[in-house]
């Protein structure tokens, strides 16, 4: 058995501006740091064993804040947890994308990583962790698209669509060969929403 807590990083200025971040290395803003601290307070009471994060700074900052507050040990970062590479659209808003490439910009070759590629590396990481950390509770700090697409790959009957909020917690558990989702996109610790279990 293994329990994984999937955490999306706290908010950044680009999140608030509606800009695609992808693999651009954008730090948390003060709101994002405050979100991470609120999440850390919650996680400190839940008995987690370790934290593994994406190597992008917004995820690393979130992981460090959680670790500093809670005492949960940080493991080395893993590049497979990075956000989807958004190619030419990184740093642009939807309005700017429509202006540059038209309303059907998603059909253009803009150097973006495919959903399948993102889901595959997320799935590969999760499978490896589940083998190497049996009977542990591991926090994974990553990004919205990576978490959402990985959930759709692991649990296609549950997740046909996903929405992953900043500083949210999703908890999945594997018993024998079966994955299940215990908690989805919970932001209760931010006092702005509810949990779905």
Which residues are designated catalytic? 9, 83
Distance CA 53, CA 59 (A): 6
Helix axes 115-132, 144-154, angle to 10 degrees: 70
3-state secondary structure of 193: coil
Please say whether the beta carbons of 182 and 158 come within 8 A.
no
Asked if 171 and 181 touch (Cβ cutoff 8 Å), the reply is yes
Nearest to 141 by CA among 91, 70, 88, 93: 70
Q: How many residues does the chain have?
A: 197
CA distance 153 to 147: 10
Cα separation, 150 vs 138, in Å, equals 16
CA–chain centroid gap for 19, Å, is: 17
Phi, psi of 46 (to 5 degrees): -110, 0
């Amino acid at each position: 058995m293994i329990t994984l807590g999937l955490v999306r990083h706290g908010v950044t200025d680009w999140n608030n501006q509606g800009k695609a971040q992808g693999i651009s290395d954008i730090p948390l803003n003060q709101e994002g740091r405050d979100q991470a601290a609120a999440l850390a307070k919650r996680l400190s009471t839940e008995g987690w064993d370790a934290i593994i994060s994406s190597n992008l700074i917004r995820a690393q900052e979130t992981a460090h804040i959680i670790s500093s507050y809670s005492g949960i040990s940080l493991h080395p970062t893993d590049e497979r947890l990075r956000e989807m590479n958004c190619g030419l659209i990184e740093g642009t808003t939807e309005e700017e994308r429509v202006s540059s490439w038209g309303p059907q910009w998603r059909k253009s070759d803009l150097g973006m990583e495919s959903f399948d590629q993102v889901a595959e590396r997320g799935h590969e990481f999760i499978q490896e962790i589940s083998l190497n950390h049996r009977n542990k509770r591991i926090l994974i700090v990553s990004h919205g698209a990576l978490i959402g697409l990985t959930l759709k790959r692991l649990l296609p009957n549950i997740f046909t669509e996903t929405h992953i909020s900043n500083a949210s917690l999703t908890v999945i558990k594997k018993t024998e060969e079966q994955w299940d989702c215990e908690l989805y996109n919970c932001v209760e610790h931010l006092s702005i929403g509810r949990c779905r279990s």
